[in-house]
Structure 1
């Protein structure tokens, strides 16, 4: 038996019921196909929607797991301020304050001049040979031979012209002398010692062009500058005033053209200053190392 065209036709009679009518029209295949496609689309959407819901569910589960894993470490950060412990409940810092140090600075260096400006501080041994050591002196290209030395507490006895009065008036306590010579020119240096710098400065200021230290001859140096014209200088440093007198050993007068005599006197005046300053430096160094 086949369905569709050419099938049997139920006629009247029988049980009286209407027999089924098998349609003779052709099926609407396009409608069937559209219905089938509609069902397929709904199925696909259901699958996609289910996957999305599963992803959201998994994400939520991971987030819960992360929060749970934080435990107590994350709870304090998420608590409101009212639930945080009071400052009195927080354990105190037991490390203690950092150590502090008072600001310090190196002491100022000792001034060498302080040690040669008064009798109280200038206590190192003193003599002509200590102040002017050795047997000769080299200054630049000049090499001077050292002659005789002398020292006296009667300062005026080793002075000429007005210098004796100047030294006595300012309470000179000692006058040391030394002579150097080179090529017929000799110079005597006289170093007068006072108790204070003020006295030495006053002696220098009171001196004039007639205040001359007496030349010292001997030890190969003949008498000089006792009657001839010679060149003299005066200066002071600390509690010391120092004087020079320079001239020819043959008794010749010194003139402005005799530069050799001038340079000799200047060399010995410079050396005297250096030696007095070194005396102060030595005592300042010794005091700093105590």
Structure 2
């Protein structure tokens, strides 16, 4: 059977439906339903969001957001105690100057004897060593001086003159240290003493009496603080010291350095004792205040 052009859906009158129009109308209805669903969902979301926002605003500190943004409260500062702690005064004065103890007779109070001034059995200056052979001390300074030195010591109030002799290799040196009341007196002796006077050579302990007796020897003089110090050096056998000679010059130079070092050490030792006393007193004061 042939359905012809219209087919089985031919209605009364035999007219054919407009399928394209029907399809467009159906699609339009479907779009309207979708927009209605979307609009309703959006409206519902807006309403829900408003409810949530209102809840957040009215819930106060019960929400995590408000807790996170809250500023922490600083703890109360502790009150200062009524009684402030007191600390003992343990200040210590500056250490004493060793120069003061060879300058000021009120501070220079340590015993002055050959044993304290020349304690070592050997004089050591750099690489040079010289055994000590004899020592002596004289309150009458003129008794241990020769030439013009005696009168200079007497007129400037010399209090004591100490001597020590060191010897090695056929040459010897006698070191003399004179004590005065002031540095000015010691300086005067140093400046006025010429080549015609010095300490008397001190033999003994293997050094013969011919040492620097009636012959030319090398002499030096200097001062430190209220002390003047001297050296006389030469050959044990009485040989004259000439300008080109070196052994007597060397031992004489070393003797001068030794005398200077011993005077300065005297000041250092007394300054160290004074510093220890100051520290002990400061500690005692601190313990009494604690």
Query: How far did 1:250 drift?
Result: 1.2
In the alignment, does 2:20 pair up with 1:33?
A: no
The structural deviation recorded for 1:246 is: 0.4
Structure with the bigger RCO (C-alpha within 8 Å, sep 6+) is 2
- Superposition pairs for residues 224-243 of structure 1, below 5 Å? 224-243=211-230
Q: Within the alignment, does 1:131 sit opposite 2:117 as a pair?
A: yes
Q: C-alpha deviations, 1:87-111, integer Å up to 9, x for none?
A: xxx99854559x9x9xx99854432
d(CA) in 1 for partners of 2:91 and 2:47?
Answer: 73
Change (3 A) 1:163 1:106: same
The SS at the match of 2:105 is coil
- SS of structure 2 residue aligned to 1:289: helix
Range with bigger deviation, 209-218 or 194-203: 194-203
The alignment partner of 2:12 has SS state of: coil
State the shift of 1:262 in Å: 0.6
C-alpha distance in 1 between matches for 2:56 and 2:98: 79
The Cα shift of 1:179 comes to: 0.8
1:215 to 197, 201, 209: 201
* Among candidates 149, 171, 181, match of residue 157 of structure 2: 171
> How many equivalent residue pairs?
256
Query: Which residue of the partner structure matches residue 275 of structure 1?
Result: 262
Structure whose CA Rg is larger: 1
> 5 Å matches for 1:137-216?
137-216=123-202
Q: Give the Å deviation of 1:268.
A: 1.3
Q: Secondary structure at the match of 1:165?
A: helix
> Which of these residues, 5, 11, 18, is aligned with residue 12 of structure 2?
5
Shift of 1:64: 5.0
How high is the TM-score relative to the length of structure 2?
0.75
Using the alignment, how far apart are the partners of 2:154 and 2:183 within structure 1?
16
TM-score scaled to structure 1, two decimals?
Answer: 0.75
Of 221, 224, 245, 2:232 maps to 245
**Alpha-carbon separation, structure 1, partners of 2:193 and 2:48:** 113
Secondary structure in 1 matching 2:99: helix
- Match for residue 32 of structure 2 among 24, 34, 42: 42
Q: CA deviation at 1:61?
A: 5.0
Q: Would the alpha carbon gap of residues 65 and 110 (structure 1) be closer, same or farther in structure 2, given more than 3 Å must change?
A: farther
Greater helix content: 2
Aligned to 1:11: none
Deviations 1:186-216 (A, max 9, x none): 1110001112233322322232222311111
* 2:284 aligned partner: none
Comparing 119-128 with 108-117, greater Cα deviation is found at 108-117
Structure 1 unmatched ranges of 5 or more: 7-23, 79-89
